[in-house]
């Protein structure tokens, strides 16, 4: 997957995770809150992966 694709999917997972956490808070559903937190963390990791790919590509392009 491209760095842009990783960043987009990461942001989407992060936002969906936050929404799940909010719904879990509103409905007092601990499972949904935990699931949302996990999805948010996954999204943050995907965005970092995309950033690392960009940095690597820019480093290779300089050579």
Please indicate, yes or no, if residue 62 is contained in any of the structural domains: no
Please indicate, yes or no, if residue 63 is contained in any of the structural domains: no
Which string of DSSP letters, residue by residue, matches the chain?
--HHHHHHHHHHHHHHHHHHHHHHHHHT-HHHHHHHHHHHHHHHHHHHHHHHHHHHHHHHHH-
Q: What pTM does this model have? A: 0.83
Please indicate, yes or no, if residue 27 is contained in any of the structural domains: yes
Please indicate, yes or no, if residue 9 is contained in any of the structural domains: yes
Please indicate, yes or no, if residue 36 is contained in any of the structural domains: yes
Please report which confidence band the pLDDT of residue 60 belongs to, taking 50, 70 and 90 as the band edges. Answer: confident
Predicted pLDDT at 58? 86
Does the structure show a pLDDT above 80 at 55? yes
pLDDT tens-digit profile of 1-52? 789 999 999 999 999 999 999 999 999 999 999 999 999 999 999 999 999 9
How many of the other CB atoms lie within 10 Å of CB of 8? Answer: 15
Please indicate, yes or no, if residue 11 is contained in any of the structural domains: yes
Predicted pLDDT at 47? 95
Please indicate, yes or no, if residue 60 is contained in any of the structural domains: no
Domains: count for the chain = 1
What residue numbers bound the domain in which 17 lies? 3-55
């Amino acid at each position: 997957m491209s760095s842009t694709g990783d960043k987009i999917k990461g942001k989407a997972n992060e936002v969906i995770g936050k929404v799940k956490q909010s719904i879990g808070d509103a409905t007092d559903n601990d499972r949904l809150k935990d699931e949302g937190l996990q999805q948010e963390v996954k999204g943050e990791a995907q965005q970092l992966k995309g950033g690392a790919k960009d940095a690597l590509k820019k480093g290779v392009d300089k050579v």
